[in-house]
Structure formats: C-alpha cells, structure tokens
Amino acid sequence: MSFLIPMNPSFFPLFRSLAGIGAPVALTLIATAAIAEKPAAEATPEALVAEALGHNAELGFYQSQLDGARAVGRVAGRLDLPKAEFQAGQIRSRNLDQSLAGEGAMWAASVRQSFEWPGRLGLRKAIANQDVALATLGLEAFRRELSGKVRENALGLAGAEEKARVAEAVAERFRALREVLVQRDPAGIAPQLEVRILEATELTLRRRASEFALAVDAERTRLNLLRGAALDAPLRVKSLPPELPTCPPLERLMAAANTNNFELRTRAAELAQQGFRVDLARHERWPAFEVGPMTMGQDGSTLDRIVGVGVAFPLPLWQPRTANIAAAEARRQQASALLAAARREVERRVVTAARGYDSRLAELSRWRADVVAQFESAADLADRHYRLGAVPATTYVELQKQYLDAVEAHLDTRREALGALVELEQATGLDLARRSDPAGRPVSAPSPTTPPTAPAASASTPAPARP
C-alpha cells in the first residue's frame, strides 16, 4: 500500500537532508512543517464575538463584581447574630461588725439579640439590591461594548489586509515595469524621467504598503487581546460586507436612549440608591437596642439566684445625625446632577452618531457595487497599454495611485459607517445591524427589551419610591 502526500516544492531540500534518518522521522518532520505553514482559518465577525464573550479576561472582573453584590444582598436584610456574654468574679460578704460572713465565686451569663427599628432592614436590603442592579448593568454594558469593538476591529482587520494587498500589488507592478524600462536603451531625456517617476512612485507605494501591513498587525493584536488569545496568534477575518440599514428617526433613537442606555440606567440606579441612603441616615437617629435573658448566681449557694431580662442601648438615645443626613443628601443631589448631565451627553452622542452614519451611508450609496473591481480592471488595462506605448506615464501613474486611493477611501468609509452604527447601538441599546451566526448565515436581530432591574428615574424627581 502506498500513500501520495502532496508537498510544497520548498520541502524538497529538507526531504533530501532527512533521507538519512529514516522515512518515518522524515515524514513526521515534513508534516509538522506543513502544519506550521498552514494559513490561519478564516473566522466570521460573529464567531469572534462569541469567542470574545467566552474568553475575554476583563469580563471576569464584572462577573465577579456581580457575584459579590449578590452575596452581600443575601445577608443585607438579616439581623445581626446574637451575642453571648459571661462574667465571673469573687464575692466576699461581711457582717455588720465587719467580720467575714462568707466568700466564694460569683458568675453571670446573658444572651442578647440586637433589634432594629421597623423599616431599617428594608432600607439596607434596598441599597444592596441597587448594588446588584448596578453590577448587572455594568456587566451588560461591557458585554455590549465588547461585541461592538470586536465587530469594528474585525472589519478593520479585513480592510487593512485588503489595502495592504492592493498597495503591494500596485508597487510590484511599478517594480516590474521599471525593470523592463531599465533594460531598454532610453533615447532622450523623457524615458529617463519616466523611469525616475516610476521608481519614486514605487518607493512611495512600498511605504504605504508597509504602513498597511503594520495596521494589519495592530488590528490582529487588538482582536487577539479582546478574544483572550495569544497576541501573536494567527487570525484571518472572513470578508463579509456589513449590513448597513437605514437609520431610524431621531425621535425613536432619543426615546430608546432614554430607556435603554446603560449609562443613564446606571445613573438612575445610583440616584435611587442615594435616596435610600438618605432615608437610612434619617432612620439611624434612633439607635438599635439589644434584648436577651440573663442569669446570675454564686458558687456554693443555692438560695441567691437572679434570672431576668436585660436591655442594652447606647446613650444618648437621640443620636445627632445632622452631618450624616446632610452628607447623604448632598450625594443624592450629586447623583441627580450626574443623571441630568449624562442624559445631555447621551443625546449629543445620539445626534452626532446619527448624523455621521447618515453622512457615511449617503457617501457609500454614491459608490457602485463593482467600483473597486472596475478600478482594478482599469489599472490592469493601463499597465498593458503603457507597455505598448498607448498610455502616457502621467496617466498610468495617476491611475495606479487613484486605484489605491479609491480602495482605501471605500474601505475607510465603510468602517466609519460601521463605527457610527456601533456608537448608535451603544447609546440607544437597539440592535440596528443585522447579525449573522458564527457560520455566516444572517439572522434577525432581537427586539430590544428593558430589563426589570433598570430603574426609571428622572433628574427632577425629588426622591425615588421607598419600601
């Protein structure tokens, strides 16, 4: 039985050098080299999003923060544990004439439970629930922001690879043409100047190609960092043009931002929590008290035994809490001001992103679907006719440069449009772009829903609802 193994011609010297160490070892090393040269598999943007949501390192911080807030919330509404107290000492009793009547050991034991005034535990539980809501909002906001960054960087990586490919192809075309012209016997000054023009243009394009290659490495590094992979891991993004739908009306975007925006929901939750803290500070003017049974006895005596109920409370009964109340009220006013400022900032983001997206979408609508392919065909046609002498050098150089500029402008405009769309999604909480599953099949975007933990508070509301 024989096996036919396809091999790259570059492996022949390696195979001859390994002929003396045995066929199994040689075939193993050649297979390892072939695997090492195997290009990275292409991944769709949605597959990268799923990988980032499963392996991103920073995502664990927000998840741990939510777990900690839930653990604190489970014990926030409970009473403190009872306290046991035991005392022991020596007792000495004397008669009226100061003679010793008796002596012995004395002991006392008590168990006391701390009780809060009605409503205080409910306020503490409400504050803990707001911590859970804030942690949940933080986790959801980071997941959405992470998804948007991965999609935008994936499109940036695909675009950078395409620009690097075009720049390298155009530069190689100039190099080949320059070598052909150098081999000829130039007659006159014009051919010599044309060679210098081609050489200078080639050097310029080589620099642009190297810059695009560095951009590819930077985009790949950012994507690997977001998806929790090694920074130098090979990665290729399947070039899928993003679906860029028509932008909804500005009124709908504003209404969605006021309802779904994570920053506004976070500020509203903070305002509600500060309102609970104000009520708690006012409620803590009356201190907690401790009640429990107690007993006292004397060693060796069965006649004297004290059994009763003890009550403990701090003095004075009316604790001055004016400073604490004023500080809590000031923090509530700050939270209200931050909510109002955040609402204005979100409105600015929505308006800016919507206008930017509409502008980029209108710019892309003026591009024909096959405009890049037409420019590439024209560049090839100009190259062939320039070699035949039918096209002057200025037209040839300008067409090649415009071909690269057109590709760069088209890819940059498309990425800027996607960036504006991602910004709109972050600001409004809507799923505006049509998604696709990890296999590349389009799926319908889910309708946005408002989580039950999202509090609806206004900057003009004096205080949120209390339990």
CATH number of the domain residue 308 falls in? 1.20.1600.10
Residues 299-308, mean pLDDT to the nearest whole number:
68
Do 218 and 326 sit in the same domain of this protein? yes
Residue 106 lies in a domain: no
Do 287 and 421 sit in the same domain of this protein? yes
Do 242 and 374 sit in the same domain of this protein? yes
The residue among 232 and 300 whose pLDDT is bigger is: 232
Do 58 and 30 sit in the same domain of this protein? no
pLDDT mean across residues, the chain: 78
Q: Which of 58-67, 134-143, 181-190 has the lowest mean pLDDT?
A: 181-190
pLDDT over 80 (residue 414):
yes
The predicted pLDDT at position 188 comes to 66
Do 17 and 49 sit in the same domain of this protein? no
pLDDT over 80 (residue 305):
no
The residue among 430 and 441 whose pLDDT is bigger is: 430
Do 17 and 131 sit in the same domain of this protein? no
Residues 362-370, mean pLDDT to the nearest whole number:
85
Residue 175 lies in a domain: yes
Do 311 and 250 sit in the same domain of this protein? yes
CA–CA separation, 429 vs 9, rounded Å?
54
pLDDT over 70 (residue 330):
yes
Q: Which of 217-221, 239-243, 391-395, 458-462 has the lowest mean pLDDT?
A: 458-462
The predicted pLDDT at position 435 comes to 54
Do 2 and 90 sit in the same domain of this protein? no
The predicted pLDDT at position 10 comes to 44
Q: Which of 58-62, 286-290, 379-383, 432-436 has the lowest mean pLDDT?
A: 432-436
Do 34 and 51 sit in the same domain of this protein? no
Residue 456 lies in a domain: no
Residue 18 lies in a domain: yes
Do 34 and 126 sit in the same domain of this protein? no
Cα distances from 205 to residues 361, 369, 406, in angstroms, run 29, 26, 14
Cα distance between the two ends of the chain: 82
The predicted pLDDT at position 266 comes to 92
Count of structural domains, the chain: 2
Residue 366 lies in a domain: yes
Residue of 324, 395, 305 lying closest to 108 (CA atoms): 305
The predicted pLDDT at position 201 comes to 85
Do 49 and 172 sit in the same domain of this protein? yes
The predicted pLDDT at position 35 comes to 34
The predicted pLDDT at position 241 comes to 77
CA–CA separation, 224 vs 217, rounded Å?
10
The predicted pLDDT at position 312 comes to 78
The residue among 16 and 58 whose pLDDT is bigger is: 58
Residue 453 lies in a domain: no
**Residues 114-173: tens digit of each pLDDT:** 777 777 788 888 888 899 999 999 999 999 999 999 999 999 999 999 899 999 988 888
Do 84 and 30 sit in the same domain of this protein? no
pLDDT over 60 (residue 445):
no
pLDDT over 70 (residue 303):
no
- Domain interval for residue 6: 1-38
pLDDT over 60 (residue 7):
no
Residue 278 lies in a domain: yes
Residues 339-348, mean pLDDT to the nearest whole number:
94
